[in-house]
Amino acid sequence: MKICVLPGDGIGPEIMAQAVRVLNALGLKFEMEEALLGGCAVDHTGNPYPEATQRLAREADAVLLGAVGGPKWDTLAREHRPERGLLGIRKDLNLFANLRPAILYPELANASTLKAEVVAGLDILIVRELTGDIYFGQPRGIELREVNGERQRVGWNTMIYAEYEIRRILKVAFEAAQKRGRKLCSVDKMNVLETTQLWRDIAEEVAKEYPDVELSHMLVDNAAMQLVRNPKQFDVMVTGNMFGDILSDEASMLTGSIGMLPSASLDANNKGLYEPSHGSAPDIAGKGVANPLATILSAAMMLRYTFNQEEAAQRIESAVKKVLALGYRTGDIFEPGTNRVGTREMGDAVLVAL
Ligand code: NAD
Active site residue 179: no
Candidate of 87, 278, 283 to mutate for ligand 1, largest count of ligand atoms within 8 Å of Cβ: 278
Q: Quote the pLDDT of residue 72.
A: 94
Share the mean pLDDT of the chain. 95
- Check pocket membership of 278 for ligand 1, CB cut-off 6 A: yes
pLDDT grade, residue 160 (50/70/90)? very high
Atom of ligand 1 nearest to the CA of 276: 41
Atom of ligand 1 nearest to the CA of 83: 34
Q: One of 105, 133, 188, 189 is an active-site residue; which one?
A: 189
Number of neighbours of residue 76 by Cβ within 10 angstroms = 14
Mean pLDDT computed over 214-238: 98
**Partners of 144 in the β-ladder:** 153
Residue 203 pLDDT > 90: yes
- At position 345, the amino acid (one-letter code) is E
* 106 cis-preceded (ω within 30 degrees of 0): no
Q: 1-96+267-354 adopts what CATH topology?
A: Isopropylmalate Dehydrogenase (3.40.718)
Residue 109 pLDDT > 90: no
- Check pocket membership of 70 for ligand 1, CB cut-off 6 A: yes
pLDDT grade, residue 111 (50/70/90)? confident
**Span from the CA of 281 to the centroid of ligand 1 (angstroms):** 4
Q: Quote the pLDDT of residue 87.
A: 86
**Span from the CA of 169 to the centroid of ligand 1 (angstroms):** 28
Mean pLDDT computed over 256-284: 93
Residue 59 pLDDT > 90: yes
Q: Quote the pLDDT of residue 323.
A: 97
Answer whether 328's CB lies under 8 Å from 338's CB: yes
Active site residue 249: yes
Q: Quote the pLDDT of residue 163.
A: 98
* Helix (H), strand (E), coil (C) string for the chain: CEEEEEEECCCHHHHHHHHHHHHHCCCCCCEEEECCCCHHHHHHHCCCCCHHHHHHHHHCCEEEEEECCCHHHCCCCHHHCHHHHHHHHHHHCCCCEEEEEEECCHHHHHHCCCCHHHHCCCEEEEEEECCCHHHCCCCCEEEEEEECCEEEEEEECCCCCCHHHHHHHHHHHHHHHHCCCCEEEEEECCCCCHHHHHHHHHHHHHHCCCCCCEEEEEEHHHHHHHHHHCHHHCCEEEECHHHHHHHHHHHHHHHCCHHHCEEEEECCCCCEEEEECCCCCHHHCCCCCCCCHHHHHHHHHHHHHCCCCHHHHHHHHHHHHHHHHCCEECHHHCCCCCEECCHHHHHHHHHHHC
Kindly report the pTM of this predicted structure: 0.91
Residue spans per domain, the chain: 1-96+267-354, 100-258
Residue 78 pLDDT > 90: no
Asked whether this chain's domains 1-96+267-354 and 100-258 adopt the same fold, the reply is yes
Active site residue 267: no
Mean pLDDT computed over 105-129: 91
Active site residue 135: yes
Q: Quote the pLDDT of residue 217.
A: 98
Q: Quote the pLDDT of residue 271.
A: 96
Q: One of 74, 92, 201, 221 is an active-site residue; which one?
A: 221
Q: 100-258 adopts what CATH topology?
A: Isopropylmalate Dehydrogenase (3.40.718)
Atom of ligand 1 nearest to the CA of 66: 40
Candidate of 40, 98, 280 to mutate for ligand 1, largest count of ligand atoms within 8 Å of Cβ: 280
Query: What digits encode the pLDDT tens for the residues 32-57?
Result: 999 999 999 999 999 999 999 999 99
